[in-house]
Chain A
Amino acid sequence: MFDSLTLASLPAEDDDLRLMVRDLIVNHIKSMPLWRRARSWQGFSADFSKALGRAGLLGLTIPKALGGHERGPFARFVVVEELLSAGAPVAAHWIADRQSAPLIMSCGTEAQRERYIPGICRGEILFCIGMSEPGSGSDLASVRTRAEMVDGGWVVNGQKVWTTNAMHSDYMIALVRTSGTPADRHAGLSQLIIDLKAPGVTIRPIVDLTGDAHFAEVFFEDVRLDGDALIGQEGEGWKQCTAELAFERSGPERIYSSVVLLDAWIQHLQACGRRDAATLVGRLTAELATLRAMSIACTSRLAMGESPVVEASLVKDLGTSFEQELPLVIGDDLAAHPDEPVSDELYQTLMYVTHIAPSFSLRGGTREILRGITARGMGLR
């Protein structure tokens, strides 16, 4: 079953990237408090993203002519692993670097590549992704935001919601209906690059249960775009989206969202000299190592030019289950030792991750959707 998902190793030539990332981290985020680093890939710092761009750590898989570095998915794995392990604030460039740039490279025109890609590689052009709508969550094919062709350009009307970092982004790649009705399901959907500074775009941040505002609702009222706002083929938006999600679902961010908390707890145990949690520490460490190997296995499929949609789904499901279990078992352990002092930092980090953890298995496809994809890949349905 899924025999292609097998142990692979990271090429040694990508190891030099670790030191480059560590240098940047020391310079930029050493003084950042733990609870901020626990934001992981939701932590936003435009400056840090630009510094990564200057250091040559963005656009790793992009051709040099467009400002990239012509390295493979393994190089990207190494950089991402280092960033997440340190809790670096990577949200600003995250979506552009991970999804938008590969999408524009594979589906965009030459003009689109030249317009967007070099800025993405510098960490200066920020993208968000417009998928969910008030009536369309897991059932993405039911999107109602429409784009009509008028005088050679597009006119967009509708609404997106839960759009991560829309208020900080320059562009949105939105899944919209360009023909037919929601009853036509996957047919008639297209992807458009929407300039978020265009007249008619309104963005309202949404505060989450931790007090952060990382996502937003975005309204489009007669937003006029040029004809080349269309990315890829008209009517092929669903297929393009699905391929894009293989990038979103397979990365190490799906196992490391809580790793800052794990490390803080282990430091706490070491500082207290407490050994009674060794079995739990060992189990979690073994699971982390196994998930890392699974994520590298997925990355090796990407490196071979495949789109491991099913494999990425099952790694993400297992990975987010691990990420979500961490705050619960750590909270149990700490509160099982009421006489042991817990620092403000560790407590704030624990409670932040505890409260935000449900999002881990929502973003990028819910647990139920992923298990459905896996089941179909197994020949069920």
Chain B
Amino acid sequence: MDSQEIIEPFARMLNAAVGPAEVREAERSNSLGAIWDSLSSSGYLDALIAEDRGGAGFGLADVFPLLALVGAKGVPAPVGETMIARALAAEAGITLSDGPIALATGQVDGQVVTCARVAQQILYDNGAELVLLAAADCSLRATGIEFSLAARADLSRIRGQILPRPAGGLLSIAAILRSILIAGAANQLVEQSTVFANERVQFGKPIGRQQSLQHNLAVMAENAIAARIAAQLGAAGGLAPSLAAAATAKSVSSRAAALIANSAHALHGAIGISEEYDLQLLTRRLHEWRMADGSEGYWSGLLGASRLSCPATSVDWVRAEIFA
């Protein structure tokens, strides 16, 4: 099955189930409504489960275009998170119920968990093992951020089902997922901004004819492509990524996320920061994903420490650690 065959039915399903109105409704009501029914009945939530365990047997690189589309549409549900949790559980012979699962990778009480307000369960990496917690047990608290589906959670003392912890923990995998979502949203913002620049007329001509704007859009495209390729480097390691590949993916994509969100807003002017205009559905998420599971500074620090411990040249080190 090539990637087009995987993505077309998924894109059709997602286009029917999620548009800006559905995203806003989920953010208003803190519930997913019919969105999750469409996702779970599609079978795609088992995409990463091995075939001999009853799944589709895809790798993270295979489902990259699906998850990028989730990012591009700002889907208000933990789609990739649930795929990853189900695959990790299936490895241990455990079948999970169909509900949405959020990932928690921080070690501190009060950590902000993306999509927690619409999750049934939270898969929590406590540093020693993975614990699957019922969201209802987690005394979730609102973050106080309007429209955000993230929640604060105190997880360290809650009991739940133990799952085997992958060698590198959940953080690297979650960081790569964020980088894919960022890549999808970034690409969408570049395309949306290009269309806007060709339509919006000022000084008697489309603003896209202004050279300064053309150059800003070209730089946005460069950063969006860098984010995509970095995320692909991360995804190539599947659910057992190297620390260096995960760090590359998240460091580059998180940095790009902030730059692209800023450029998109600058280009759109005042309408871009209004609630009723769709731009904010993606730019708010870019900032959330940028900070989730380690920002560019966090991952750059880890990558740099690893780099400094080895005497190889940069090209040799990068080839061995990131392209392996």
Contact = CB atoms under 8 A, between A and B. Distances in A.
Contacts of B313: 85-86, 259, 263
Closest 8 pairs between A and B when the two form their complex, measured CB to CB: A282-B304, A282-B303, A278-B304, A282-B300, A375-B214, A281-B304, A7-B232, A374-B218
Interface stretch (A28-36, A175-183, A288-296, A352-360): A288-296
B217 A375 contact: yes
A2 B314 contact: no
B301 A278 contact: yes
B307 A282 contact: yes
B237 to A, nearest CB: 12
Interface in B221-256: 221-226, 228-230, 232-233, 236, 247-248, 251-252, 255
A262 B230 CA distance: 20
A98 interface: no
Interface residues of B, number: 53
Contacts of A294: 225-226, 229
Given A294-B226, A371-B219, A286 B303 contact: yes
A337 interface: no
A287 B313 CA distance: 15
20 contacts: A1-B194, A1-B224, A7-B229, A259-B313, A279-B300, A281-B307, A282-B251, A282-B306, A283-B251, A285-B307, A286-B299, A289-B233, A292-B323, A293-B230, A293-B233, A318-B222, A368-B215, A371-B215, A371-B219, A378-B190
A283 B307 contact: no
A229 to B, nearest CB: 37
A279 B221 contact: no
A138 B226 CA distance: 26
B315 interface: yes
Contacts of A372: 211, 214-215, 218
B317 A275 contact: no
Interface string B19-53: 00000000000000000000000000000000000
B270 interface: no
A82 B302 CA distance: 27
Interface in A342-381: 368, 370-372, 374-375, 378-381
Given A7-B233, A289-B322, A314-B218, A380 B301 contact: no
Query: Could you say which of B296, B304, B305, B307 has the most chain A C-beta atoms within 10 Å of its C-beta?
Result: B304
A248 to B, nearest CB: 18
Contacts of B300: 278-283, 286
B296 A290 contact: no
B317 A380 contact: no
Interface of B: 187, 190-191, 194, 197-198, 208-209, 211, 213-215, 217-219, 221-226, 228-230, 232-233, 236, 247-248, 251-252, 255, 296-297, 299-308, 311, 313-318, 322-323
A284 to B, nearest CB: 8
B221 A282 contact: no
A368 B218 CA distance: 10
Contacts of A267: 311
A6 B229 contact: yes
A378 B218 contact: yes
Given A5-B229, A81-B315, A280 B187 contact: no
Interface of A: 1-2, 5-7, 9, 81-82, 85-86, 256, 259, 262-263, 266-267, 269-270, 275, 277-283, 285-294, 297, 314, 317-318, 368, 370-372, 374-375, 378-381
Contacts of A7: 229, 232-233, 236
A208 B198 CA distance: 42
Chain B interface main SS type: helix
Contacts of A281: 300, 303-304, 307-308
Query: Could you say which of B191, B255, B314 has the most chain A C-beta atoms within 10 Å of its C-beta?
Result: B314
A286 B251 contact: yes
A314 B223 CA distance: 10
B247 A282 contact: yes
Contact of A280 (B229, B304, B314): B304
A105 to B, nearest CB: 29
Contacts of B226: 287, 290-291, 294, 318
Contacts of A297: 229
B128 to A, nearest CB: 26
A183 B234 CA distance: 51
A103 B191 CA distance: 35
A7 B214 CA distance: 26
Contacts of A370: 218
A238 to B, nearest CB: 22
Contacts of B303: 281-283, 285-286
B213 to A, nearest CB: 8
